[in-house]
Each structure stands twice: as structure tokens, then as C-alpha cells.
Structure 1
Amino acid sequence: MAKIQIPRGTQDIMPGTVELWHYIEAKARDLCRRFNYHEIRTPLFESTELFQRGVGETTDIVEKEMYNVSNPRSEDALTLRPEGTAGVVRSYVENKLYGSPNQPVKMYYLGPMFRHERPQAGRYRQFVQFGAEAIGSSDPAIDAEVIALAMRLYQELGLTGLSVELNSVGTLEDRANHRKHLLEHLNGVRDQLCPDCQSRIDRNPLRVLDCKNETCKTLTKDAPSILEYLSDESAAHFEAVKAYLTELGIAYTVNPRMVRGLDYYTQTAFEIKMAEIGAVETLCGGGRYNGLVAELGGDDMPGIGFALSIERLLLALEKQGVQLPVSVGIDCFVAIQTPDAKSAAFRLVDRLRSAGVAAELDYLDRKMKAQLKQADRLAARFTVIIGESELASGTAVLKEMATGEQQEIKLDELPAVIASRLG
């Protein structure tokens, strides 16, 4: 019978690697605590309409990448979430968070997303996103804060060579003014553009500028920039964001072609990139979405956020040779010299664990030499040895593995002694 294998575009995160994930997740949660962002957990699947309306029907996500869920007992159209912002905003509206006395509402999420795309390094069909959203303020300072939060995570994990690319995609009115001039240019080269761009010209021409096809990039390199059509308000907002980033010491470059891949963005759009990471150069992206809350049925509230892939982050750390200070091993291994000592060892391990000590014992009836080798493999800081004489005296031998130092200690005192030495 053939073995059942893992689905394409997914991965098993095994012991020995998952500890890196724990470290990054703990760092992200601590950063959010410092920035006063609070966790929100939304369903893994939502109404398909949420993403059609929230992400945009002309986006690659909606057109090509969503996993739709069918249920023969229900007519509801459901989709595994391909991104986090739409679900967070839906929850914001549904739970009336606009009425919270603490404004703006600042939330973060950390969990799996699903997109049917071609798997490659750092890109999976099931992937984990960390994202943050601030809803309820149009202050350009919070745009800079959101960018700083994402940058701070990368920096505190030890990445270097990071850069911020910044743009303003304006308001809906700004884009309407820009659209007619952009269409004049695009219609002049329509027949030479890729099929995706040809289909987007009439529906969302700004997205043509986001195409990764080299021919399309060349054909549109002289297209009119959205920055030339910003209203005074949008231009002032953009200048203020840049000024706040400068105040924080965050260097940036303005990229007028960057529009991001989601339709809900307005005004500020940004990406964080790292040099020499190949196909996954972009580590993080985000922007302002001032019309999204209203689009999903709420009052017209401004918002801004970002999302980043933990898989890409891990790949970036690997590329730069960054070693995270992940603790390995256990605190104490309890070795059994005689079968009569098994019950006492079993009780001791439970008491050690109750005292906060990571403890293990032998479950394979190995000889003492093999047990001590197992303690080494587990990188135990201490080994406790219990034999016939120790049972008779109510003691055990405590060995510090790094120094080899041994001493006899009463069994009742061991949990407190080990916990104290562990600090």
C-alpha cells in the first residue's frame, strides 16, 4: 500500500525546528505588547464574499489563489482565509469595536493562511502570517508606527540590510484623476501587455503597474505616476509619514510603481525588503485602507496594517546566517540503576515537573551507561541517579553534567535544590 504523503505546498514543522517558531512568535507577541497591540483570533474560513469585497475581485488572490470550501449540506460559499486583514476588519465591524473607549483599536494576529500558488523557497500554500492592524485613526504618525513595528521585529531578530519602499496610492478621488491619464498610456501598449494586465486595464488599471512581467514593466516604465495626481491632503499625509519615519531613524525610498496586490489600499503603501534573498526579496507589505471598514458594512473608519510571512522570515535568517538564541535540552534526567527504583524515579520526575523543572526518565529499560548517553543527547543540565543504596537511604546522587560534580541529596529536597540551581 502506497504511503500517504504531505500535500504539495505544505510542510511539517518538526521538533528541533519548531523551537525557532516559538522564539519568533514570542518576540512578535512581546513587541505587540510594547506597542499596545492586542491579539485577535479569527476563523480559518470566512464567507467568500468577504474576500471578494474586501481584497478585491481583480486581485490574483481572488482570481487565482483562493481555496473555496464546499459543503453539500449548506449553500454558504466559504473560503479558507488567504490573508488576515479582511477577517480582522469584519470582526471589528461585527463586534462594534468602533464603540470601544480605547481608540484607535490596535490588534495583531498570528496564524495560518492558505493560497493556491506555485510553491517555491519561502512560499507555501499553507503559510503563517503575523500581522498588525490599527483602525480608527488617520494620523500619519500611526502609519510610521506600523512600519516601525514590522521593522523592529526584523531588527531585534538580527536581520540587516533591510530597506523600506514607500508610496502613496492616494484616495479614490486621486486615483480617479490619475486613471484617465494612465489609461491613455496603457491603451497605447495594450496589445503588447500580458493577458493579466490586458484584463486589468479596464477593471483596475493601477494594478498593471504591479505586474512582475519584465515586458510589462518596460512598457509601463513611463506611465504617469500616481504621485503626480495626489490631492493636497494626500500629499501632506505622505510628507508627514516620511517625516515621522525620519524621526524614527528608518530609512526609506519612494517607489511610485508600488501599489501592492490588494485593492483595499489607500494613501500609504509600503514594503520591507532585504537584499540578496532571491525570489522572496519582499519580506513584508502593508498600507492604509481607509475605505475597507465601510466596504464591509461599518462606518467609514480609517485603518492601516501590515502582514509578513514567518516562513520568509526564517528563510531570511538562514540566508544571513543568523542563529537565534533558542534554548535546547532539558533541565534534569533521572537515571535508574535498579528496577526497584523505577517507582521512586517516576514520582520524582512528576515532582520535578511540578516545581517547574523540565525532567525526563528512561522508558526503555536501558543500562545505566545508555541512560547517561541519553541524558547527554537530551542536553540535560543535571542527572539524578537512583539505585538500591539510594532507595534505602532516601537519597539520590545529583550530577551537574557540565562540571561532572556530584553530591548526595535527600529525595524530598531534590526538586527545590534543582529549581534553585536553575535560577
Structure 2
Amino acid sequence: MNNLKNLRGTIDLLPDQLIKWQNVEKILLEQLARASIKEIRTPILEMTELFIRGIGEGTDVVSKEMYTFLDRGERSCTLRPEGTASVARALIQNGLSSNLQKLWYMGPMFRYERPQAGRQRQFHQLGVEFIGYDSVRSDVEIIALAWDILGKLGIKELNLEINTLGDLNDRLNFQKSFLEWLEINKNSLDLDSQNRITKNPLRILDSKNIQTQKALENAPRLFNFLSEESHKRYSDLKKNLEVLKIPYVENFNLVRGLDYYTHTAFEITSGALGSQATVCGGGRYDDLIKQMGGPNTPAIGFAIGLERLILLAGKELEIPRNTDIYIINQGLIAESLAMDLSRKLRNYDLLVELDLSGASFSKQFKKANKLKSKSVIVIGDDEAVNGEFIIRLFDRSVNENEEEVISFGNDINLEKWINNNLLIKRCS
């Protein structure tokens, strides 16, 4: 008996499930290409120090959730828990961190947390990073891009939450006052928040604990410690969003989970997900690349969890593309001719299924019907001897005359039939 199973928090994506994944990914890639954003691919495995320095040692991701181990060379390695730090490392290492760039990546990430709907220990993210851009217009463009991508996928009940975290000086001024308040009100906080006071106090603002949220209503607000310049930047962000008619809600407790954010932080949620509502999150991280050893480089980005996206995307994206041509064939010579013909047909924009079963014609016709094939090609012994094949629309009730006998090698007649009956009809 085979007791081998996948690890908890990992799932198999089977062919029928992947139809929706592939359709979603196709739309994502089309939207990114239209926005002139280029792909970057970084390793899944990185040195642990990258994430300690890049994400922050006091964050939950680094302190609780990373998959970290020593390799055979006694080096500490980590399966990437997010993509931004890896992109920053790649740009610094390859001397590209000073260039203006718009980049995207997509692939698996790993975090040790409790598996739930739309959240696994191996999960997938789409990430977009604008490198070298400091204008508030880049903040607006990247928020608009995320908003439009989700809209294109038919995600309903979308809500945009925004906040500003100011610059480093703003946060240091706020943190001094906030720490004083925390010490006085420590007993009003949940245990996790109490533990964060000395490690990562800003993350307390993002607590989901109801008791802590209630207590924070009386805490100092970062917004009141912003410089005039930071206030103007935030005001410009809101004005630009209003021009684009992108609705937003201000959430002054929105700080995101990572240490590297500055100024703009945002999340896009969907009411269709209940308590696990966040679909997209991001923000500006002007200090990260310098902090990791590169030049002073402004940047902003976002990430979208694909598992949640799949849960929310429309049902129509689960529908597979029907087979255009199903090749029914039987007999040694016929099977050889069918193999050659299938290769030729795939050079057109056609989904071609070659029956390899050797079953009877009736069984092959049943399989073509099950796949809802638009048309069939029939090659048997008689056709093979005559050097020809029959091609016809599978549903002949539409037009009895949409059938033709074509000689092998007569590419002109074959292409003409395909254009008249398959390619043109698909576009109409």
C-alpha cells in the first residue's frame, strides 16, 4: 500500500483545475505586456541573510514563517517567502539597480503558516516592481494597474485601502511617541502585540485582534507626525486616484507586514472572500535597495496571491478551449499519414487531437463528441490508398455541405477549408 502523500500546505494542481489557472495567467500576461512591463526570474532558493536584511528580522515572515535549512556546505538557505527582496538582490548583483525599470515575476513562494482557503504553505504570487521611480505618479500608475488587472479578471466587490507611512524621519518621530503610549497601555494589548513592542512596534497597528484594535483607537497616529512634504505627497496621491475615478478608503492602521515600506501602502480587498479579504497588497520601499548594499533607489511594487485570485475569478475562466480538429484514423498507413497531418495542422492556430488508441471508428467518433470537437478528419484504409482524407464539421446539421475530400499535400485546399470553417468562425 502506498502511503506517500503531499506535504501539508501543498496541493497538486490537476489538469482540469489548471484550465482556470492558465486562463487567468494568460489575462495577467496580456495586461502586463500592454503596460510595457518586463519579466524577471529569480531563484526560488536564496541565502537566508537576504530576507533577514531585506524583509526585517522582527517581522512574522522572518521570525516565524520561513523555510530555512543548512545545505551540504553549511550555508543557511531559505525558500523565498516573497519576491521583492530577491528582485532587489538581482538588480544590485547585476549592476541594474540604478536603471529605470518596470518588472514583473510570477511563481511559487513558501511560508510556514496554517493552511486555509486560498492560502497554502507553497503558494504562488504575481509581483510587479517599478524600480527607480520616485514620482507620486508611479504610485498611482501601479495602483491603477493592480485595480485594472483585478477588474479584467471579473473580480467583484473590490475595495482599495490606502495609507501613508511617511519617510524614515517621520516614522522615527512617531515611534518615539508610540512606544511611550505602548508602555502605558501594554496590558490592553493581545500577547502577540505585547511581544512586538520591542521587536517591531509598527506591526501592532496592523493587528487583527479586536481587543487591540479597540485600544489603538486612542493611540498616537503616524499621520499626525508626517512632514509637510509627506503630507503633500499623500494628498497628491488621493487627487490622482480621484481623477482616475478609482474609489479608495483611508486606513491609517494599514502598515503591511514587511519593514521596508515607506510613504504609500495599499491593499485591494474583495468582499467575496469574507475575513480573508486581501487580494493584492503593496507599497513604496525607497530605502530597501540602499539598505541591501545598492545605491539610493526609489521603488514601489505590489503582489497578488494567485490562489485567492483563482477562487475569485469568474466561472467562465474554467471553460476549456474546445478541440478544433479531432483526427480519427485506423490502419498502419492511415496512422502514419495522420501523424504527419497532425503536425502540419498545429502550425495553424488550431487545437488538434490525434487519436492514438487504435479503437474502432465508432469509439473514436464518441471521443471526438465528448471533447466537443468542432470538426473531424477521417483517415481509414480507403483514404490512405487514395492518398486523401475527409474533413468535415462535426455538427453537420449546420450545413450538410461543409465536408470536403482533400488530397494529402494539397495545402491550398486544406487552408481554404480551415479559414472558411474554423478560423473565421472562431473570430466572429
TM-score range, shorter chain: over 0.9
Say whether 1:150 aligns with 2:149. Answer: no
Say whether 1:366 aligns with 2:363. Answer: no
Say whether 1:61 aligns with 2:71. Answer: no
Say whether 1:206 aligns with 2:205. Answer: no
After TM superposition, give the deviation of residue 164 of structure 1 in Å.
0.6
Equivalent position of 2:46 in the other structure: 46
Q: Is contact 2:387–2:407 with CA below 8 Å preserved after alignment? A: yes
The one-letter code matched in structure 2 to 1:410 is: S
CA-to-aligned-CA distance 1:283-304 (integer Å, 9 cap, x gap): 1100011110111001111111
Say whether 1:241 aligns with 2:237. Answer: yes
In 1, the alpha carbon distance for the partners of 2:208 and 2:2 equals 40
CA-to-aligned-CA distance 1:324-363 (integer Å, 9 cap, x gap): 2854232211112545522222222232234453322222
Equivalent position of 2:162 in the other structure: 166
After TM superposition, give the deviation of residue 280 of structure 1 in Å.
2.0
Q: Is contact 1:116–1:125 with CA below 8 Å preserved after alignment? A: yes
Q: Secondary structure at the match of 1:145?
A: helix
In 1, the alpha carbon distance for the partners of 2:221 and 2:74 equals 44
Q: Is contact 1:357–1:419 with CA below 8 Å preserved after alignment? A: no
Equivalent position of 1:353 in the other structure: 346
CA-to-aligned-CA distance 1:363-402 (integer Å, 9 cap, x gap): 2221111100111222221111112322232221212013
After TM superposition, give the deviation of residue 202 of structure 1 in Å.
2.0
The one-letter code matched in structure 2 to 1:379 is: K
In 2, the alpha carbon distance for the partners of 1:167 and 1:4 equals 47
The one-letter code matched in structure 1 to 2:139 is: D
Equivalent position of 1:412 in the other structure: 409
Say whether 1:97 aligns with 2:96. Answer: yes
The one-letter code matched in structure 2 to 1:402 is: D
After TM superposition, give the deviation of residue 257 of structure 1 in Å.
0.6
Please list, as runs of the form range in 1=range in 2, the aligned pairs for 1:258-407 lying within 5 A after superposition. Answer: 258-317=254-313, 321-324=314-317, 326-338=319-331, 340-404=333-397, 405=400, 406-407=403-404
TM norm structure 1: 0.94
The one-letter code matched in structure 2 to 1:63 is: S
The one-letter code matched in structure 2 to 1:76 is: R
The one-letter code matched in structure 2 to 1:328 is: R
After TM superposition, give the deviation of residue 419 of structure 1 in Å.
4.2
CA-to-aligned-CA distance 1:200-234 (integer Å, 9 cap, x gap): 11232111111112222122222111111101111
In 1, the alpha carbon distance for the partners of 2:348 and 2:141 equals 41
Count residues in correspondence.
Answer: 416
Gap regions ≥5 residues in structure 2: 424-428
Q: Is contact 2:272–2:312 with CA below 8 Å preserved after alignment? A: no
CA-to-aligned-CA distance 1:104-140 (integer Å, 9 cap, x gap): x111111111111100000011111001111112101
Q: Is contact 1:164–1:271 with CA below 8 Å preserved after alignment? A: yes
Q: Secondary structure at the match of 2:409?
A: helix
The one-letter code matched in structure 2 to 1:310 is: L
Please list, as runs of the form range in 1=range in 2, the aligned pairs for 1:87-236 lying within 5 A after superposition. Answer: 87-100=86-99, 103=100, 105-236=101-232
- Deviates most, 119-128 or 341-350: 341-350
| RMSD of aligned Cα (Å) | 1.8
The one-letter code matched in structure 2 to 1:164 is: L
Q: Is contact 2:54–2:292 with CA below 8 Å preserved after alignment? A: yes
Q: Secondary structure at the match of 1:276?
A: helix
The one-letter code matched in structure 2 to 1:361 is: L
Q: Is contact 2:98–2:295 with CA below 8 Å preserved after alignment? A: no
Gap regions ≥5 residues in structure 1: none
Q: Is contact 2:119–2:308 with CA below 8 Å preserved after alignment? A: yes
CA-to-aligned-CA distance 1:125-173 (integer Å, 9 cap, x gap): 1111001111112101100111111111111111222111000011111
CA-to-aligned-CA distance 1:220-272 (integer Å, 9 cap, x gap): 22211111110111111111111111111111011001110001001100000
